Amino acid sequence: MSTTAKTLEALANREYKWGFVSDIEADALPPGLTEDVVHAISAKKNEPEFMLEWRLRAYRHWLKMERSAGEPKWANVTHPPIDYQQIVYYSAPKRTSDGPASLDEVDPKLLETFEKLGIPLSERKRLAGVAVDAVFDSVSVATTFKAKLAELGIIFCSFSEAVQNHPELVQKYLGSVVPYTDNFYAALNSAVFSDGSFCYIPKGVRCPMELSTYFRINAASSGQFERTLIVAEEGSYVSYLEGCTAPMRDENQLHAAVVELVALDSAQIKYSTVQNWYAGDAEGRGGIFNFVTKRGKCAGRRSKISWTQVETGSAITWKYPSVILQGDDSVGEFYSVALTANRQQADTGTKMIHIGKNTRSTIISKGISAGRGNNTYRGLVKILPRAVNARNYTQCDSLLLGDRCGAHTFPYIEVGNASSIAEHEASTSKISDEQLFYCKQRGISGDNAVSIIINGFCKEVFKNLPMEFAVEATKLLGVSLEGSIG
Amino acid sequence: MLSIRNLSAGVENKPDILKRISLEVKAGEVHAIMGPNGSGKSTLAQVLAGHPGYIVTSGEVTYLGQDLLSLPAEERARAGLFLAFQYPVEIPGVSNAYFLKAAVNERRSRQGQEELDAIEFLQLLDEKLRVVEMDRSFVNRPVNEGFSGGEKKRNEILQMAVLEPKLAILDETDSGLDIDALKTVAQGVNRLRRPDNAMILVTHYQRLLQYVEPDRVHVLFDGRIVKSGGKELALELERKGYDWIREEVTAGEPAGSSVAR
Amino acid sequence: MTTTVATAKDRYLAEFEALDRRGAFRSPSWLAPFRRRAIDRFAESGFPTTRDEDWRYTNLTSLAATPFRPAAPSPAGVPAEALERLALPGVEWARLVFVDGRYSPKLSTARPLPGGGQVASLAAGMITDGDMIERHLGRHVRWDRNVFAALNTAFVEDGGFVSVPPEVRSETPIELVFLATTPGVVAQPRTLIVAGLHSRLTLVERYVGITDEAYFTNAVTEIVAGPGAAVDHYVLQEQGAQAFHVATVHAALGRDSAFDTCEATFGGRLARTTLTLEFAGEGGRGAINGLYVVGGRQHVDHHVTVDHAVPRCASRQLFKGVLDGTARAVFNGRIIVRPDAQKTDATQTNKHLLLSDGVEVDSKPQLEIFADDVKCTHGAAEGQLAPEALFYLKSRGLGEETARALLTYGFAHEVLERVAVEPLQAYLDRLLMARLGSDRITKEIV
């Protein structure tokens, strides 16, 4: 398109004018979001034309939304307004020499957490941004792993790599589940996304291991605007783990990620998240705004997508992993434990949209509120008129620890035909004195007792996590709740 | 009265639970169908009653000269076929009295008889309550709601008494009952036996058959009738257990179409 | 759409000013500033649109677009069929009748209550018990947040007034009948019920329409239960097929009081009930039961809020809806437990039975909990008649239609069972039966 060519030309000239070209290896673009910035991001990543076009369309759409309604205001969370022109939308991967020189320079509280979570030393260094002495180690691990996957035809790489090496796949599926018109943050992300994961499982292949972001080199810098796309072809299976239990610190205020999952006929995608946004201090200062659009499309018949998440930490969390049940006989599942302590706020939940015939969805949400936390579950179960014989079961339970916290549920149930069944149950309770006394009487007291009881409360969710994650999640819950019971 | 010929039936996931069953029941007879779990006993009962979840893949059933399988469930009931359920469902909000009166009058109106008014119906009901040794309090409770296992079974027999079926199929009526409840239920069943009606007792244990003596006993195994005999067969089964049958069958006794005489 | 809503608003504002100029609002004088604030509130926001969270599923465009006008000052005589519908068989209760919003002494039978209690029209009550009314009217319902209540407050003219003195037990029910006879009319009855310390009262509100053409009823009922009082409240809504029915009920419950209400909805083209139970004193007990049986293109919307503002109160809710044709039901049940409202025990159950494929249900059971030593649960279920139960009935010879009607009756009856007033329960049973349209069931269940 001649317009693009002209724009690129102009940009090239401008770049030169501002000395971008010479600085292309340098750190970051100046703050602010303009069409030029979008061009610059795409240029730095050396993206093909279709990608730039897509980003630009998304940016223009975001601009329209920003000018008319502004950012969404309906979540049950409060945050100061975000100045979108103050944010830096691109920064080069942090070089390891910028980080702490050794573990001695790392925040001791962070180290304590690593200790409790049983994270091996080399991992701790990497996570804390310390230069890994044995670079060889982490590279070799990742290399062996990738070779095995390649044999099976599985593609697992960074999103940027995918755009370079598998553009036809990216073009086919990008935006097919979360179009940039979907919402404010999705539009923003689509325009300026930096990197993320790309995963493709060919027909009939069962991915032999859990795919985790641990194994992506350059994971450390993926940062603010992550974009992930997972495609499971007919009859395939993949289990993907996002996040890690180590505390995530970040100066970035705003995180707007987009995750798209596509499952074709009889395919199954399992997506698990254990996320701990490091509290920093007990007052919850340094709060991170975590706005994520996660959606799976059960495009094929008998396909299945499960979301499992364990969230703790000081982020202001706004995320609704959803499943569009388009294929007949498809299944959507959502299992979640959300913990808010101190002054954290969470507004999370799920949307299950039943479109095809004989679809099923299960939602199990467990919220734990402690301190002065506020935990809100917001869900939508929508059964369209043509989604005959749909079945939904939702269970939302809240556990309140202490009398200064809040737990809320706002489920929307919309049923459009008479052959479906939707059932919803919710309950709110606290750890009873009887339960605590029972534990004490058996010699288990204080935090341990609470831990056991809470783990029982969360059991239904934890059993859906891959093993390693489940173990870490259990520990994480314990660590996060320390001292919360007054 | 009832003639089953080469009946094969099952459910969507398992279409061949029953494999070419044949059975003849005459008026005045009581037949017992015994078998281990999973043999297809309940399937037979449900298929005869016309449960929509079951599919007949082949075979014929004639009842009082009519093609039974072509009739919907309510038509079979109106023609005098009664099923005492193994797990009677609860119907909250609808009292036993209303339910039975509606059923009785529906049948009477179809047969060109005059319907009963409230008083006449209660008189009928009192008479029948005596048969099963139940009292009026049952009548006003919602159908099976909050009933103990024994009460549910007795309620099935009460309904049988009120509706006076020609062919009654009792599906594991004895399961979950203690000895006293069993005796009461058995007594009720015996009181309802007449030369012009017939019964099929589906049961796992021999207990019920001590009190309600069958004329013929058939053993159902893996969807086929593998043995038939008189009431002594039940006793033999009690002594030897179902493993005896299992061994006989696997030892190569003729399987295929089994005809019970 | 915005234009329609704005024009509708202006009509009501103009009507208000006209009445004000004519001196209609002069007495009682204490009410005048209230009215003014209320009409300002209405003017500020106008009729809600589907962009308002509380009206997300209920579209008021038709209601707003229709130019309803208040009934003529002295309405024509009441047609005979209306009179027939008035009386519930076999009862001799105190009954106040309002025709198109205006009190009809001729049709009413007021019986005084012992101990100086009052059963009268609100207008009469303003004269005899002005102080009490001033103390309570508009002080409980949140008309600042509820536009329809604000509109009603601005135009307050008449309605029911019942005051039961302390320690007095009124054994027979008191019935308020709001009869709608004229198309194109808007009636805004306002009812105030004050139950004194340890008193007992049963109140029945009936909204009956005898015309099939459109009219609009915007009713507000405030109920104040003093410490230890027990109030049983029933609302029977049998509005006409094209009627718009908007009702706001607010019950303020004092210490150790008990409030049982049952809302039965059968009529109206669009019916919205906003019901709030506010626990103002510890030890209160509230039970809310509701049944709606709708078909055709009816739209029924219930927004219920139970506010546990203080500790140690218990609430139970059971709402059941039967939908047929292409009807639509909206249910929003909110339980709020405020900080320090410990030992709260709240449950809510909402079930819908969907009988035909064109129906739609939007259900939002909400919990907002700020205290921890509480027991709160809610459950919602949408579904059809259980196939096992249908088969069971058919296996007893009942035909498809009869079986379906019987099961539907059973489903709905769970709510009607809780109606403690026998003639009322029988009447509701008959209404239900008529709706189910099964001759067999009607015959059998007398």
The letter for the amino acid at C324 is: D
Residue A221 has pLDDT above 70, yes or no: no
Amino acid C48: pLDDT: 93
d(CA A190, CA A181): 9
Model pLDDT, residue B97? 85
pLDDT, one tens digit per residue, over A239-287 is: 998 865 444 555 556 778 899 999 999 999 999 987 766 554 445 455 5
SS3 annotation, chain A: CHHHHHHHHHHHHHHHHHCCHHHCCCCECCCCCCHHHHHHHHHHCCCCHHHHHHHHHHHHHHHHHHHHCCCCCCCCCCCCCCCCCCCCCCECCCCHHHCCCCHHHCCHHHHHHHHHHCCCHHHHHHHCCCCCCCHHHHHHHHHHHHHHHHHHCCEEEEHHHHHHHCHHHHHHHCCCCCCCCCCHHHHHHHHHCCECEEEEECCCCECCCCEEHHHCCCHHHCCCCEEEEEEECCCCEEEEEECCCCCECCCCCEEEEEEEEEECCCCEEEEEEEEEECCCCCCCCCCCEEEEEEEEEECCCCCEEEEEEEEEECCEEEECCEEEECCCCCEEEEEEEEEECCCCEEEEEEEEEECCCCCEEEEEEEEEEECCCEEEEEEEEEECCCCCCCEEEEEEEEEEECCCCEEEEEEEEEECCCCCEEEEEEEEEECCHHHHHHHHHCCCCHHHHHHHHHHHHHHHHHCCCCHHHHHHHHHHHHHHHCCCCC
pLDDT for A1:
33
- CA distance linking residue A212 with residue A125, whole number of Å: 18
- C364 contacts A430? CB cut-off 8 A: no
Across the interface, which of C339, C372, C379 has its CB nearest the CB of A430?
A: C372
The C-alpha atoms of residue A416 and residue C224 are separated, in whole angstroms, by 39
User: What pLDDT is stored for residue A138 in this prediction?
Assistant: 42
Q: Rounded to a whole number, what is the largest CA-CA distance in chain B?
A: 61
Bridge-based pairing of strands B18-25 and B2-10 is antiparallel
Mutation target among C351, C367, C384 for the A interface, most CBs of A within 10 A: C367
Note the pLDDT of residue B260.
Answer: 54
pLDDT in tens, B45-58: 999 998 888 999 99
Is A409 in contact with C366 (Cβ distance < 8 A)?
A: yes
Give the residue with greater pLDDT, A403 vs C254.
Answer: C254
What is the pLDDT, as a whole number, of residue B231? Answer: 87
Cα gap B169→C268, rounded to integer Å: 49
Where are the domains positioned within chain C?
386-446
Distance of CA A291 to the CA centre of its chain: 9
- pLDDT at A166 (0 to 100): 93
How far apart CA C118 and CA A334 sit, in angstroms, is: 57
Structure confidence by residue, pLDDT tens digits, A15-68: 222 222 222 334 567 777 888 888 988 888 889 999 999 999 999 999 998 888
Assess if residue A470 is contained within a domain: no
Could you tell me the residue range of the domain that residue B116 belongs to?
A: 2-259
Q: Which residues face A364 on adjacent strands? A: A335, A395
> Quick check: C440 and B98 CB within 8 A?
no
Q: Which residues of chain C have pLDDT under 70?
A: 1-6, 74-76, 439-446
Question: pLDDT band at residue A12, thresholds of 50, 70 and 90?
Answer: very low
Please count the structural domains in chain A. 1
pLDDT of residue C184: 93
Read off the DSSP letter of residue B69: G
Q: What percent of chain A has pLDDT over 90?
A: 32
Distance from CA of B81 to the nearest CA of C (A): 8
CA distances from B96 to A413, B156, C149, C417 (A): 35, 11, 45, 15
CB B214 within 8 A of CB B186: no
The two structure tokens encoding residue C162: 């019942």
Please check whether residue C360 touches A, CB under 8 A.
yes
Which residues, at least 6 apart from C40, have a Cβ–Cβ distance to it below 8 Å?
A: none
Q: What is the ipTM of this complex?
A: 0.79
CB contact under 8 A, B102 and C440: yes
Distances (CA, A) of C44 to C6, C39, C144, C147, C154: 11, 8, 11, 9, 13
CB contacts, 8 Å: A427 with chain C: 376-378
| Average pLDDT, rounded, for chain A | 76
Task: Give the neighbours of chain B: at least 3 Cβ pairs within 8 Å.
Answer: C
Those chains having 3 or more beta-carbon pairs within 8 angstroms of chain A are C
Contacts of B96 in chain C (CB under 8 A): none
> Are C249 and C257 in contact, with CB atoms under 8 Å apart?
no
Test mutation, B42, B48, B68, B91, chain C, max C CBs within 10 A = B91
CB contact under 8 A, C388 and B89: yes
Please give the pLDDT value at position A382. Answer: 96
The whole-number pLDDT of residue A129 equals 52
Domain that holds residue A425: 103-430
- Enumerate residues 6+ apart whose C-beta is below 8 A from B252: none
Sign of the C-alpha dihedral, residues A166, A172, A175, A180? positive
- Residues of B in CB contact (< 8 Å) with C are 49-53, 72-74, 76-78, 82-83, 85, 88-94, 98-103, 105-107, 110, 115, 118, 142, 159, 163
Read off the pLDDT band of A111 (50, 70, 90).
low
Residue range C71-87, pLDDT digits in tens: 877 666 777 777 777 77
Cβ of B102 and C398 within 8 Å? Answer: yes
Cα gap C5→B248, rounded to integer Å: 83
Q: How many domains does chain B have?
A: 1
Residue C441 near chain B (CB below 8 Å) = yes
Cα C240–chain centre separation: 15
Q: How confident is the model at residue B99 (pLDDT cuts 50, 70, 90)?
A: confident
Contacts of A409 in chain C (CB under 8 A): 365-367
Q: Tell me the pLDDT tens digit for each residue of C136-188.
A: 999 999 999 999 999 999 999 999 999 999 999 988 899 999 999 999 999 99
Cβ atoms of A407 and A457 within 8 Å: the answer is no
**Secondary structure (3-state) at C306:** strand
The Cα–Cα gap between B254 and B237 comes to 19
CA distance C79 to C61: 31
Look up the CATH number of the domain holding residue B85.
3.40.50.300
Is residue A343 situated within a structural domain? yes
pLDDT digits (tens, 9 = 90+) for B104-160: 888 888 778 888 888 889 899 998 888 888 888 888 888 888 888 888 888 888 889
Cα–Cα nearest to C252, from C309, C171, C168 = C309
User: Using 50, 70 and 90 to split pLDDT, how confident is the model at B199?
Assistant: very high
Instruction: Decide if A305 is inside a domain.
Output: yes
Which residue carries 């099939």 as its tokens?
C212
- Flag whether pLDDT at A131 surpasses 90: no
Tens of pLDDT, residue by residue over A55-101, are 999 999 999 988 887 766 655 555 666 777 767 677 665 444 455 55
